[in-house]
């Protein structure tokens, strides 16, 4: 590819990347390039026919429009199947695609303790909104077990996971030889179910009792799971009685977690409960400053001020906006203007997908060629089981619907059934490339 074509295609890709989901982008635009230009026609090289058809049907207009915005002489696009250099066809069996599909950050996750080393105090901004939670976390680090349990709650993207993992990482690296274990309440439930089914419940208990510091994230998902709560209650007591620290996070105050047993609630209330609310303006400014500095990118005070006052959302959203600004400005080779930044913000803060659960079910049933009713029925027909699992998986992953709610909406299924279905799909994605494609197509129909 000539330098000119390379640049042009990169510009097009970075525009498209902003307008579609990441999964879709990776799926359809990986290994594409400009093969040649001839009299205003751009020939785009694509890795296979499948991608070619998809680009023509779904993205042709966007591609052409974007190309034209960078070169007015361009009036047509053609797609050529050209296998990427140095790549050979993977054998059909055992493609093991999952390894290349893993997001980079997953490589930082330690298998022993589940901690992700990217969450540290060094890169944790402390401001009025989270200083209390920060102080509580520091207290734990300095003198274990004053606040036991520590319970951090707050909305999504407010920094709960970052904070509780930072505690774990700090203790881990402090050389005290403490055994730490981080997990989500969902993982706990799943492990428990598996150990009960596999007849290894005792090993399960033994395993947890070995740890000195236990961190359980997103504990709201325990609600209504009786067996799990009971098991957890005992585990909790054994930690507590042995002066071992437990840290929890949740999206709500324990008293507002519907379905959580009273005795568990009162135990939670016996420690320290701190909220991380939405970041305030001053903190948002600090977050933009720190994050841009960490990324080696400088933003003017005026721009930072503007960003912090117009992006009020959670920290994940702030990061998203910052990343696109950096990306765009690298591409253009200059700082962005306020107008350009305004446009970016508009693109970035996409309204949450507002399809209803019913619409999701309808779309997926249609996609697999079955009726909506079949999804709700109790049948175990293979043709229905998979679409139903996909429905559960999409509702959970993309729409944050809780397991119990999914179960209820799908005709009164047990939440453990839902959980197993979601896990099944998660497992299958690792080896089943056609499933990956199906999910991607379904997702693009839902956005």
Q: Which residues bind ligand ADP (CB under 6 A)?
A: 123-125, 130, 154, 156-162, 287, 315-316, 319
Vertex 317, ends 316 and 320: CA angle to 5°?
A: 90
Kindly state the tokens that stand for 8.
């042009």
Choose the one of Mg ion, ligand ADP, none that binds residue 358, judging by a C-beta under 5 to 8 angstroms depending on kind: none
Which of Mg ion, ligand ADP, none binds 124 (CB below 5-8 Å, type-dependent)?
Answer: ligand ADP
CB of 187 to ligand ADP, least distance (A): 15
DSSP state of 178: -
Separation of alpha carbons 332 and 313, rounded Å = 27
The footprint of Mg ion on residues 377-406 (CB under 5 A) is: none
- For 313, the token pair is 């959302």
Site string for Mg ion, 115-154 (x = CB under 5 A): ----------------------------------------
Q: Give which of ligand ADP, Mg ion, none residue 130 binds (C-beta under 5 to 8 Å, depending on kind).
A: ligand ADP
Closer of 137 and 384 to ligand ADP (Cβ): 137
If the CB atoms of residues 66 and 130 are measured against ligand ADP, the closer one turns out to be 130
From residue 149, alpha-carbon distances to 60, 70, 188, 371, 419 in Å are 55, 57, 17, 48, 27
Interface residue with Mg ion, options 11, 32, 35, 161 (CB under 5 A): 161
- As measured in angstroms, the least distance from the Cβ of 248 to Mg ion is 12
Of 401, 437, 393, the C-alpha closest to 419 is 393
Stretch that binds Mg ion, among 48-56, 157-165, 222-230, 367-375 (CB under 5 A): 157-165
CA angle 385, 391, 397 (to 5 degrees): 130
Q: How far is the CB of 175 from ligand ADP (least distance, A)?
A: 25
Q: Smallest distance from the beta carbon of 309 to Mg ion, in angstroms?
A: 26
| Of 157 and 271, CB closest to ligand ADP | 157
Instruction: Compute the distance between CA of residue 374 and CA of residue 381 in angstroms, rounded to an integer.
Output: 10
Q: Which stretch binds Mg ion (CB under 5 A): 160-168, 175-183, 250-258, 373-381?
A: 160-168
Structure tokens that stand for 272 in this block: 């320290």
Q: Which is nearer to ligand ADP, 311 or 365 (CB)?
A: 311
- Give the torsion sign (CA, 267, 269, 273, 275): positive
Q: How far is the CB of 280 from ligand ADP (least distance, A)?
A: 12
Q: Is the peptide bond before 397 cis (omega within 30 degrees of 0)?
A: no
Cα dist. 260→48, 184, 226, 445 in Å? 51, 16, 9, 36
Smallest gap from Cβ 283 to ligand ADP, in A, equals 8
Q: Is 35 in the site for Mg ion (CB under 5 A)?
A: no
Q: Does 283 bind Mg ion (CB under 5 A)?
A: no
d(CA 158, CA 134): 12
CA distance 341 to 303: 9
Minimum gap (Å) between residue 399 Cβ and ligand ADP: 16
Torsion-angle region of 442 (φ positive above 0: left; ψ -120 to 50: alpha; else: beta): alpha
Closest CB 402 distance from ligand ADP, rounded Å = 15
Q: 439 is in the binding site of which of Mg ion, ligand ADP, none (Cβ under 5 to 8 A by kind)?
A: none
- Asked if 344 and 31 touch (Cβ cutoff 8 Å), the reply is no
Nearer to ligand ADP, 228 or 286 (CB): 286
- In the complex, the smallest distance separating the C-beta of residue 278 from Mg ion, rounded to whole angstroms, is 15
CB burial of 47-74 (b: ≥16 within 10 Å; e: otherwise) equals: beeebbebbeebbeeebbebbbeeeeeb
Nearest Cα residue to 294 out of 138, 106, 125: 125
Q: What is the nearest approach in angstroms of ligand ADP to the Cβ of residue 315?
A: 4
Q: Which residue is nearest to ligand ADP (CB)?
A: 159
Q: Which burial class, exposed, middle or buried, applies to 280 when counting CB atoms under 10 A from its CB (0-12, 13-18, 19+)?
A: middle
286 forms part of the interface with Mg ion (CB under 5 A)? no
Of 155 and 224, CB closest to Mg ion: 155
CA distance linking residue 216 with residue 151, whole number of Å: 10
Residue where the block lists tokens 């197509």:
441
For Mg ion, which residue has the nearest CB? 161
Nearer to ligand ADP by Cβ, of 280 and 366: the residue is: 280
Minimum separation from the CB atom of position 162 to ligand ADP (A): 3
The one of ligand ADP, Mg ion, none whose footprint includes residue 267, by CB under 5 to 8 A per kind, is: none
Q: Of 315 and 425, which has the nearer Cβ to ligand ADP? A: 315
If the CB atoms of residues 162 and 170 are measured against Mg ion, the closer one turns out to be 162
- The residues of the shown chain that bind Mg ion, judged by CB under 5 A, are 161
């Amino acid at each position: 590819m000539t330098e000119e074509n390379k640049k042009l295609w990169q510009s097009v890709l970075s525009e498209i990347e902003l307008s579609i989901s990441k999964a879709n982008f990776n799926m359809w635009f990986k290994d594409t390039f400009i093969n040649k230009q001839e009299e205003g026609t751009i020939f785009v090289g694509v890795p296979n026919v499948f991608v070619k058809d998809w680009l023509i049907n779904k993205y042709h207009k966007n591609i052409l429009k974007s190309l034209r915005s960078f070169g007015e002489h361009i009036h047509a696009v053609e797609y050529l199947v050209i296998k990427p250099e140095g790549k050979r066809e993977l054998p059909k069996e055992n493609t093991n695609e999952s390894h290349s599909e893993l997001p980079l950050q997953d490589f930082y996750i330690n298998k022993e303790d589940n901690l992700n080393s990217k969450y540290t105090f060094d890169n944790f901004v402390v401001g009025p909104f989270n200083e209390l939670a920060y102080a509580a976390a520091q207290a734990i680090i300095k003198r274990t077990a004053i606040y036991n349990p520590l319970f951090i709650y707050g909305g999504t993207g407010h920094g709960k996971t970052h904070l509780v993992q930072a505690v774990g990482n700090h203790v881990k690296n402090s050389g005290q030889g403490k055994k730490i274990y981080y997990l989500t309440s969902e993982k706990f439930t799943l492990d428990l179910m598996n150990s009960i089914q596999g007849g290894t419940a005792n090993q399960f208990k033994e395993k947890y009792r070995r740890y000195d510091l236990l961190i359980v994230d997103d504990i709201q998902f325990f609600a209504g799971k009786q067996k799990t709560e009971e098991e957890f209650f005992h585990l909790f007591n054994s930690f507590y009685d042995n002066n071992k620290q437990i840290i929890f996070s949740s999206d709500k105050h324990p008293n507002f977690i519907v379905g959580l047993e009273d005795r568990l609630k009162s135990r939670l209330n016996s420690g320290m409960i701190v909220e991380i609310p939405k970041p305030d303006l001053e903190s948002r400014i600090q977050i933009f400053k720190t994050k841009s500095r960490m990324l080696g990118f400088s933003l003017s005070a005026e721009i930072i001020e503007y960003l912090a006052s117009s992006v009020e959302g959670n920290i994940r959203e702030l990061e998203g906006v910052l990343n696109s600004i950096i990306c765009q400005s690298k591409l253009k080779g200059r700082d962005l203007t306020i107008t350009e930044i305004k446009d970016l913000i508009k693109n970035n803060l996409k309204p949450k997908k507002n399809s209803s659960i019913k619409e999701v079910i309808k779309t997926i049933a249609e996609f697999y060629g079955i009726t909506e009713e079949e999804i709700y029925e109790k049948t175990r027909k293979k043709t229905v089981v998979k679409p139903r699992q996909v429905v559960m998986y999409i509702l959970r992953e993309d729409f944050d619907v809780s397991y119990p709610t999914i179960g209820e909406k799908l005709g009164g299924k047990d939440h453990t059934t839902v959980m197993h279905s979601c896990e099944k799909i998660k497992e299958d994605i690792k080896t089943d490339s056609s499933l990956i494609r199906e999910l991607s197509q379904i997702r693009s129909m839902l956005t």
